[in-house]
Amino acid sequence: MTAILAIALLSGLFGLLLGYSAIRFKVEGDPVADQVESLLPQTQCGQCGYPGCRPYAEAVARGEEEINRCVPGGEATVRSLADLLGRDPVPLEVEEKPPAVAVIDEQACIGCTLCLQACPVDAIVGAAKQLHGIIAAECTGCELCLPPCPVDCIHMVPIGADISRWRWPYPVERKAA
Amino acid sequence: MSHSAPPLHSRRRIWTFHGGLHLPDEKALSNGLPIETIPLPPRLVIPLSQHIGAPARPCVEVGERVQKGQLIGEPDGYVSAAVHASSSGTIVAIEPRPVLHPSGLSAPCVVIDTDGDETWAALPQPLTDYVHLDPVVVRERVRWAGVVGLGGASFPTGVKLNPGPDRRLKTLIINGAECEPYITCDDRLMRERPARILEGVRILSHLVRAEQVLIGIEDNKAAAIAAMVQALADSDLQEMAAVVPIPTLYPSGGERQLIRVLTGLEVPTQGLPAQIGILCQNVGTAAAVGDAVIRGRPLVSRVVTVTGRSVATPRNLEVPIGTPVSALIAHCGGYRRLPRKLVCGGPMMGFELFDAEVPITKAANCVLALSPSEAPDPGPALACIRCGRCAEVCPVRLLPQQLYWYARAKDLDRAQEYNLFDCIECGCCAAVCPSHIPLVQYYRYAKTEVWTREQERRKAEQARQRHEARLVRLERQEQERLAKLRKKKDSLGGAQPGSEDAKRAAIDAARQRAAAKRSAAPKGQAKDAGDSLAAESEPRIKEPM
């Protein structure tokens, strides 16, 4: 009887303690989604099928979505997500694209502002009936501005090799004969 | 050049650093002949980025005539350096050209067709009385002259001379160690122009108010030591300056290694020598500072060693910046035999050149054409046998093996934990590796990869912030729209009950009027009126027909 009472008392105590700490130390937001989001390239391109990186991160954190949906992130993102979440790396379904930025053809642009509204990072500047311009440094290469353009005057230009972005290649090891 | 005691001993105590290698110095190949000025090439290609930091902004136009020493690129930002025309002529292009870089990629250059006149532009007043001038003025002159570290790192000297108000640079170290095999440009410079070097040293020590100056020279350069000691004895610097012969041991010319050898102090990891009150400058840089301040001349040429057993006459040349590498080799009698490898810099830290037409920059201290016997094919890399010799020779006391494993596995976080960024890429580990593993290449790969990821992460963070700002903006606009709508509705809604009454009143009034009319007018009249109305309207309808 004493034993039962003691256990009941203890469990009640711990229950209260747990209940209290759940309220006291409540974590706002979803830390896993935050971590997932920090690994995503933030192009906000929607190629994963979600409207932006945050919704995709939340879906991945809830375990509802595969980790290979991020096209701009490529294999590297899949690998880091696999590391973070302890899941098996899944191969990408689409081919990786080289990084690119959007460029507006100045002759063709009619100043319709449709691309302005499509850009997820506000990297296009312009006003109605004025030539629009893309801030190349802010463009994430998401291609979301391409479909709304009524005159197809936006093109994706791959970011060329540049000394400031050049990296030493991974050493090629010749196999000993 | 033997390892016997130098002719003049310094009684100063010197320290040692960990590891290091005794390499065949190969300096006798090129150090016998005096520095010769190369004839002016017909075309100069002057890169706008010859330094660490932001590339210079071109301030001339195609077709413009420029004079020797005229500014053609302004420093763009604080950590940047000015670029000057190395000779007079006409600018024929400002465009990307292949430059001296391990990637072999192109970068913006100013291309000048020289006219051979070598007419100097109007130069600023020499600051011979710099002792009584504000150090800011003198530093600004050094910055104007585009002086960068000529030892190979090419960091803008003007920036290095300004350690900030709360730091005091007590010790000035002049680097004449020239530890890498083959290279002799500093050796020849010290032998032939010691007074000019000391002029620069005097300016530098005045600028930072140094208490002592140590000129470190490896003891395999006895002639250079003798010349510097003699010049020092003839100058007014003897009180504070000393020429310190140091043992020949690669890489004692590395900034941190030289500081350690001369002062016994260790530069903190990822820190700067300025943190421990030390400023380190190469002898060539000191001479360039002297030229800028005393003669008002910008840095438009440098001494380059052209050497290697494939070159007919290895020697040192004074070369205008922008001269193609091929012109240097041609001036040294061309190739004796076809080189296996053309290297910019020394055999340990240099990089291979695939195009001999690239121009000489401020950072290029050596062009090395290695014959097959000097650069034997190392053969395929074998597996690491964990012998640990790399760790024994590492001058930074890193664990090259661990770094290798992590870099190879692309585990960059772990590589950084093992202080990847303290690696000075001296190549000692790779030189002793019995398995011929290209260790330094792995470290270079890992370093640039870390930088790229860092850059990408920053860019992603920026994109995220912009995206969030946009969402907030859209939300705000939506709220504003709704608020406006509500306001409009409210203003209309306030009038509505009243208007309804008014409407009803108007309808009632109309009804009453109509009733009054009906009762007042007889029925026939009303019919007539209707008929006449119809008669009136008929032709109006018919008219268009």
For residue B76, what are the domain limits? 27-353
B336 and B224 share one domain: yes
User: Average pLDDT in the B121-138 region?
Assistant: 89
- DSSP reduced 3-state for B199: helix
Across the interface, which of B448, B459, B461 has its CB nearest the CB of A167? B448
The alpha-carbon gap from A153 to the nearest alpha carbon of chain B, in Å, equals 24
Contact: B460, A41; criterion CB under 8 Å: yes
CATH number at residue B145: 3.40.50.11540
Look at the pTM and tell me if it is higher than 0.90: no
B538 within a domain of the structure (yes/no): no
What amino acid is encoded at B534 in this protein? A
Quick one: what percent of chain B has pLDDT higher than 90?
69
Chain B CA closest to residue A138 = B463
B101 within a domain of the structure (yes/no): yes
B216 within a domain of the structure (yes/no): yes
Across the interface, which of A40, A53, A176 has its CB nearest the CB of B380? A176
Cβ atoms of A106 and A154 closer than 8 Å: no
B340 and B413 share one domain: no
B426 and B338 share one domain: no
- DSSP reduced 3-state for A94: coil
Q: What is the pLDDT of residues A99-131, one digit of tens each?
A: 888 999 988 899 898 998 888 888 999 888 889
Q: From chain A, pick out residues whose CB is under 8 angstroms from the CB of B50.
A: none
B262 and B163 share one domain: yes
Q: From chain A, pick out residues whose CB is under 8 angstroms from the CB of B456.
A: 41
Across the interface, which of A121, A169, A170 has its CB nearest the CB of B466? A121
B358 within a domain of the structure (yes/no): no
B132 and B280 share one domain: yes
Chain A residues with CB-CB distance to B under 8 A? 37, 40-44, 52-53, 120-123, 138, 140, 161-163, 165-171, 173-177
B104 and B217 share one domain: yes
The answer, yes or no, to whether residue B6 has pLDDT greater than 60, is: no
- Write down how long chain B is: 545
| Per-residue tokens: B119 | 């007419």
> Out of A142-151, B6-15, B325-334, B525-534, which region has the weakest mean confidence (pLDDT)?
B525-534
Contact: A42, B382; criterion CB under 8 Å: no
Contact: B103, A163; criterion CB under 8 Å: yes
Q: From chain B, pick out residues whose CB is under 8 angstroms from the CB of A167.
A: 445, 448-449, 451-452
Which residue in the block uniquely carries the two structure tokens 């130069």?
B123
The alpha-carbon gap from A172 to the nearest alpha carbon of chain B, in Å, equals 9
Which residue in the block uniquely carries the two structure tokens 């051979």?
B116
Contact: A169, B445; criterion CB under 8 Å: yes
Chain A CA closest to residue B455 = A165
Chain A CA closest to residue B457 = A41
State residue B309's pLDDT score.
93
Tens of pLDDT, residue by residue, chain A (177 residues): 899 999 999 999 999 999 999 888 887 777 888 888 888 888 888 888 888 888 899 898 888 888 888 888 888 888 888 888 888 888 877 777 778 889 999 888 998 989 988 888 889 998 888 899 999 888 888 888 899 999 999 989 888 778 888 889 998 876 655
Please identify, among B493, B513, B538, the residue that sits at the C-terminal boundary of a domain: B493
User: Average pLDDT in the B81-107 region?
Assistant: 93
- DSSP reduced 3-state for B135: helix
B255 and B172 share one domain: yes
Across the interface, which of B102, B105, B445 has its CB nearest the CB of A171? B445
Q: How far apart are CA B481 and CA B489, in angstroms?
A: 12
User: Average pLDDT in the B295-309 region?
Assistant: 94
Q: What is the pLDDT of residues B190-217, one digit of tens each?
A: 999 999 999 999 999 999 889 999 999 9
Cβ atoms of B324 and B359 closer than 8 Å: yes
State residue B522's pLDDT score.
56
Element (H, E) at B214: strand B212-218
Q: From chain B, pick out residues whose CB is under 8 angstroms from the CB of A160.
A: none
Contact: A40, B380; criterion CB under 8 Å: no
The per-residue pLDDT of chain B, averaged, comes to 88
| Structural domains of chain A, with CATH | 31-85 (1.10.15.40), 98-164 (3.30.70.20)
Residue that wins the pLDDT comparison between B115 and B270: B115
Contact: B445, A44; criterion CB under 8 Å: no
Q: From chain B, pick out residues whose CB is under 8 angstroms from the CB of A34.
A: none
B463 and B339 share one domain: no
The alpha-carbon gap from B288 to the nearest alpha carbon of chain A, in Å, equals 27
Q: How far apart are CA B274 and CA B277, in angstroms?
A: 5
B183 and B328 share one domain: yes
B525 within a domain of the structure (yes/no): no
State residue B398's pLDDT score.
94
Q: What is the pLDDT of residues B358-417, one digit of tens each?
A: 999 999 999 999 999 988 888 888 999 999 999 999 999 999 999 999 999 988 889 999
User: Average pLDDT in the B229-239 region?
Assistant: 90
State residue B9's pLDDT score.
52
Chain B CA closest to residue A177 = B380
State residue B10's pLDDT score.
58
Cα dist. B51→A116, B153, B526 in Å?
39, 8, 103
Across the interface, which of B380, B467, B473 has its CB nearest the CB of A42? B467
Which residue in the block uniquely carries the two structure tokens 């670029």?
B83
User: What does the radius of gyration of chain A's CA atoms come to, in whole angstroms?
Assistant: 25
Across the interface, which of A37, A120, A168 has its CB nearest the CB of B441? A168
Chain A CA closest to residue B411 = A80
Q: From chain B, pick out residues whose CB is under 8 angstroms from the CB of A173.
A: 380-381
Most confident of B141-150, B165-174, B487-496: B141-150
B399 and B329 share one domain: no
Confidence of residue B528 (pLDDT cuts 50, 70, 90): very low
- Interface test mutation site (partner A, options B48, B49, B50, B103, max chain A beta carbons within 10 A): B103
The alpha-carbon gap from B12 to the nearest alpha carbon of chain A, in Å, equals 42
Q: How far apart are CA B47 and CA A163, in angstroms?
A: 12
B340 and B419 share one domain: no
B348 and B415 share one domain: no
What amino acid is encoded at B63 in this protein? G
B136 within a domain of the structure (yes/no): yes
The alpha-carbon gap from A65 to the nearest alpha carbon of chain B, in Å, equals 21
B375 within a domain of the structure (yes/no): no
The answer, yes or no, to whether residue B523 has pLDDT greater than 70, is: no
- Interface test mutation site (partner A, options B449, B466, B478, max chain A beta carbons within 10 A): B466
The answer, yes or no, to whether residue B352 has pLDDT greater than 50, is: yes
B465 within a domain of the structure (yes/no): yes
State residue B297's pLDDT score.
93
Classify residue B195 by burial, with Cβ atoms within 10 Å: 0-12, 13-18, 19+. Answer: middle
Cβ atoms of B316 and B378 closer than 8 Å: no
The alpha-carbon gap from A86 to the nearest alpha carbon of chain B, in Å, equals 17
Contact: B462, A53; criterion CB under 8 Å: no
Contact: B101, A163; criterion CB under 8 Å: yes
Q: From chain A, pick out residues whose CB is under 8 angstroms from the CB of B433.
A: none
The answer, yes or no, to whether residue B433 has pLDDT greater than 90, is: yes
State residue B529's pLDDT score.
44
State the count of interchain CB pairs (< 8 A) between A and B: 77
What angle, rounded to 10 degrees, do the helices at B135-144 and B194-208 form? 130
Total tally of structural domains belonging to chain B: 2
Q: From chain A, pick out residues whose CB is under 8 angstroms from the CB of B473.
A: 122
User: What does the radius of gyration of chain B's CA atoms come to, in whole angstroms?
Assistant: 38
